[in-house]
Structure formats: C-alpha cells, structure tokens
Structure 1
Amino acid sequence: MVFELIQARSTRFTTLSVRTFCLAIASWGDLTELLDQSEPVTPGHTSLKTSEFSFDMGNVDAELRTFKWYHGPLSRHAAEALLMVNGRDGSYLLRRREEKDMSYALAVRSKDSVKHFQVEWRDEAGFSFGLSTFPTVKAFADHLANEPLLGSETGALVRVRFPYPREVAEPTFYDPVIVHTALKSGQSSDSISAHVPSLGSKEGFLTKLGNHVKTWKTRWFTLQRYELKYFKDRQDTHPIKTLDLTQCTGVQFDYSLQRVNCFCLVFSERTFYLCAKSALEADEWIRILRWKVNQVRKQSK
C-alpha cells in the first residue's frame, strides 16, 4: 500500500516535470521575442528559469501583448496622462504595475478622472478581476470586448468602451533649431530639480455646507493635480468654484456638525465642510487630499 502510494506520487511528479519541460520548449519563441523588444523588461521576462511559474509569466505577458490595449509596465501617472489628454469617457488600457510581478491594473477614464481597478494573475485560476475569474487571457479580453459596467463602493459607474492602444501614429518630422543660446551660466545638472504634480484624479458627489446660507447641497467634485473643483451637476462644464490645494493647510475628519462621514478642508480664509455617502468614500477623499497637501509641503522644503 505504501509502495503504491509512493509510486503514484512519483508518477505524478514525472508527469508534472514533463509538462514543465514541454511548456519551456513551447514558450521559448515567445520569450526570445520578448527579449528582443526595446521596452523595459523584468526578471520574469529575461530569466529563463526552470520553474513553471517563470514560463507561465512569460506566456501571459506575451499573449497580453497581442492586444493593443495592453501597455506593459506603465506607471499610474503615465496611464492617467494618456487617458486624460488623449482619451475619452470609457477609454481604457491595461498596465502592469511596476512594483509587482503578475499584478496588473485596468485604468478607465470616467469623465474627469481615471479609475484604477486591480487585476491579478493566479497560476491556478487565471485572471482575478472584480467579482469574476477568467481562466485564460482570451477569456479576460473577451470580457472587456463586451463593454462591462464597473463600479467600486464609491464614485460613479464607468462603462469600459474604447481601448487605448499602446502605439499611436506619430509624425516623423522635427523642428529645426535656429536659436540656441544659454540664458544662465555656472549651472550644473546637479542643481536642476525636475518635478511635475501628479494627476491623482478623483471625482464624485459630495454634500457641501454653504458659506453664507448654512444649508447642505450636493455638488459634483473633481480632483486633478492640485485643483479641487465643484459643479452644480455632473454634466456642467463650468465649476462653481476651484479650490487651490497648494493653499490648503489641513484635511481631517469633522465631528463638530453632528453629521456622519464628514470631513473638512482648512484654508486661511475659510474652512470647507464636505460629507460623503459612506465612511469608506469619506476615507478615500481624505487620503488622496492629504497626499496632495503633503506633496505640496515636501516641495516647499
């Protein structure tokens, strides 16, 4: 009995080893093709390890690259810049998160912001996305092709509609240099500081307390860079007011007005009181707003 059990396990191990070897041979062409590409690579692509995980990772990424909406390793900021500048409501792309292997994010533009939905590849199950699991890359791609309606616990629903390609047609001509003179002297590359604000976009309905007339009204808020704008309605194009977060001195929960899920933004001339529909939504707004204010403080040091 014991001998039969050992023999069965040994046979299973041999079968798995053969399967791994076959996967290695079958995926060699895909992996070498990946190595020839000029985009940044990760150890999962360049290392021809003997583990089945390494080959699976290469296969998944290679198959994803057959879809134009997959952009490979891409930062959150770069994804938002592409979709906000050149996309439209419903434009989307899939990017691999730079800090983690086999972890992806589906970036979708929703009017004045970009939402980032986590997508994970699991060897045993395939793509885990939202409330569903897709056993193959093709199954996941087919799901996106059917324009799913997505929503988190906060914010508005967004429809996945327009794939944003990683390759866009570009002109091949350049501007000639006619004038070329330095306007400073004695500077070195060490003295140059490169910095731009993160888009860090967010949008949603919040209830705001009026300034002169102390009534609560629901407004549509959008956050981009260091500007928090609010509108009378989501369809409006002209904001009622734009708050400059570089002038904000604090963001915190507020319990003074005896309302739930409230927080405030403190400015020298006024404190703005806002309420969300849920504690989770209030926490999300506070986290992103505090992060923005902290970025301002770091730059001023």
Structure 2
Amino acid sequence: MSLDSESSSSTKDEELRTLRWYHRDLSRHAAEALLLSNGSDGSYLLRNSNEGPSYFSLSVRAKDSVKHFHVQHVDQSYIFGFNQFSSLQEFVSHFANQPLLGSDTGTLIVLKSPYPWCVEEPSIYEAVRVHTAIQTGRTESDLVANAPSLGTKEGYLLKQGAVIKNWKQRWFTLQRHELKYFKDKMFEEPIRNLDLRACSAVQFDYSQDKVNCFCLVFPERTFYLCAKTGVEADEWIKFLRWKLSQNRKGR
C-alpha cells in the first residue's frame, strides 16, 4: 500500500468514527429490519458493503420497503451515483439539501433523517440494536442523543379470552414497561394495560390448537397470544424478554 493510500484510508476511518449514522457491520437484512421496525419514510443509514473494503451501502426506507445504494471510497473521495464528495461532511451537507434518489422503480426517495447508533436498545434481529429516536431534521447536528427511546413495538395479535376461550384479534402496543391492547387500531382507549414489571416469563406455547402462540405469565393470569407467523411471534418474544430483563436490572 502506498503512502497516499494509507493516508486516504486513515482519513476515511477517522471520518467514519465521527459519523453518527454509520452502522459499520450491520447486514442488509438487519438494516431493513431496523429501518422498517423503527424508522420512518426517508430514514437512512450507512453501513459496510459486501462488495469490498472501499464500498459502503446507503440503506434508505421508502414507505414500506428499504432501498440500498452503493457508495464507493476512491482515493480521498466518496462516489455516490453521479456525485462525488471530498469528505463525509460534504456528503452529510448534500443530504441536508433534500436530494432525491431514483429507485429501480423510478420512484423518487427523499433522504429525510439519519438513523443513529448512539443508544443501546434490545437485540431483535441478528444482535441488532434498536436505537434512539431522532428529531425531525436533515443534518447530523439535528440528532437528539437523549430523545425518547424507540424501543417500542405494535401490531395485531390474536388473544384468548379469560373465561370464554375464544380468540379475538386485538391491536397491541408496547412502550417502556406497558403492554396495552385495544379492540382495534382505531380505538384510543385500551381494553387493558399490562404492567410488564409484574410479568415473570414470556415463552412459546404449544398447548393451543393454533400455531405461532406464546404466553405472558402474570401472578393473577397467564395471557395467551398468537401471531400470524413464527417470525413475528419470535420478534414479540425476543422484544418482551428484553423488556423483562431491563425491568429486572432496574430493581
């Protein structure tokens, strides 16, 4: 390696250490899971690419999907599409000016908000950390390190009745130590609010006549829930178990 190449590599590494939305070895699948679970339309992050040490991937959420774009480091420049940037700061500043990206379907994607790595949250996909919330803004300086956690989850699950053992679809939301369920997504008032600090266990359940079921064990009752898929059930279980572990640490 020449002295110029070594200098270029050193400068690149130093810049990457200052970039709050550089997720290093995050995989493509994990980036998609993270952005779809906790990002919003226009959320983006930078990660290493499998193409080689001089390549990066910019992952961007576009509504209900995630698009990936190559960024190549050549000498002391970053090549992104038809654009060339002399530094990562110039790269960030370019994003601040509402650039548009054309996806493979011709859809224009606006890069709205960087997805930072700065706060540790639960592992739900390949030891991925779910991260901090970010203030709506378009530059790295807009990041809010102490913003409310995005360690939340919501979705439809089937719930078994306490007395009549029938199954009804309910809308569940999980935030902090509260698991609430509603008659439907449109309802503002929950049917019940479960305090996870009182929950002793979350586990798969194979005693029902349905698949993808799991249960939450409380002193007064065990709640039986079913997800649409095994993957979804596994996500809920991992997330709920992380919440329980955090509650125990806080005692």
What range is the shorter-chain TM-score in?
0.5 to 0.7
Bigger proportion of residues as helix? 1
Corresponding letter in the other structure for 1:225: R
1:126 aligned onto 2:53: no
Partner Cα separation in structure 1 for residue 217 and residue 198 of structure 2: 9
Instruction: Point out the structure with max Rg over C-alpha.
Output: 1
Code of the residue aligned with 1:245 in structure 2: it is L
Determine helix, strand or coil for the equivalent of 1:135: strand
CA contact (8 A) 1:57 1:102 kept: no
Give 1:53's match in structure 2, choosing from 9, 15, 38: 9
Partner SS for 2:216: strand
Q: CA 1:126 to 1:215, structure 2 compared with 1: closer, same or farther past 3 Å?
A: same
Shift in Å, 1:135: 2.7
Relative contact order (C-alpha < 8 Å, sep 6+): which is higher?
2
CA distance change for structure 1 residues 164 and 228 in 2, over 3 Å: closer, same or farther? farther
**The one of 180, 198, 204 aligned to 1:229:** 180
Matched with 1:146 is 109
Query: 1: distance between equivalents of 2:239 and 2:141?
Result: 31
Q: Which runs of 5+ in 2 are unaligned?
A: 60-65, 73-77, 82-90, 103-107, 112-124, 126-135, 143-147
CA contact (8 A) 1:209 1:217 kept: yes
* SS of the residue 1:146 aligns to: strand
In 2: Cα distance, 1:261 partner to 1:18 partner: 57
Letter in 1 for 2:153: K
Shift of 1:231: 1.7
Give the aligned residue type for 1:282: A
1:135 aligns to 2:36 (yes or no): no
Q: CA deviation at 1:164?
A: 5.6
Superposition deviation, residue 146 in structure 1: 1.4
Q: Which moved more, 1:101-110 or 1:226-235?
A: 101-110
Amino acid at match of 2:192: K
What are the Cα deviations for residues 34-85 of structure 1, in whole angstroms up to 9, with x where unaligned? xxxxxxxxxxxxxxxx3543323445678xxxxxxxxx43xxxxxxxxxxxx
What's the offset of the Cα at 1:166? 4.7
1:252 aligns with 203
TM-score when normalising by structure 2: 0.57
Select the structure that is richer in strand: 2
Q: Does residue 1:287 correspond to 2:238, yes or no? A: yes
**Secondary structure at 2:9 match in 1:** helix
The correspondence of residues 8-19 of structure 1 with structure 2, limited to 5 A, is 17=2
Native 8 Å contact 1:251 1:263 kept in 2 = yes
Q: Deviations over 1:269-294 (max 9, x none)?
A: 11111111111111111111111112
What are the residue-to-residue correspondences of 1:207-222 with 2, within 5 Å?
207-222=158-173
Identity %: 41
Distance in 2 between residues matched to 1:212 and 1:164, nearest whole Å = 52
- In structure 2, the residue matched to 1:187 is none
Length, aligned pairs only: 181
Per the TM alignment, residue 204 of structure 1 is displaced from its structure 2 partner at its CA by 1.5
Residue aligning to 1:185: none
**Residue of structure 2 equivalent to 1:45:** none
Counterpart of 1:65 in structure 2 is: none
d(CA) in 2 for partners of 1:238, 1:203: 15
1:235 & 1:147 partners in 2: Cα distance? Answer: 29
User: Post-superposition shift, 1:96?
Assistant: 3.8
Check whether the contact 2:22–2:45 (CA below 8 A) recurs between aligned residues.
Answer: no
Residue ranges of structure 1 left out of the alignment (5+ in a row): 1-15, 21-49, 63-71, 74-94, 154-161, 169-196
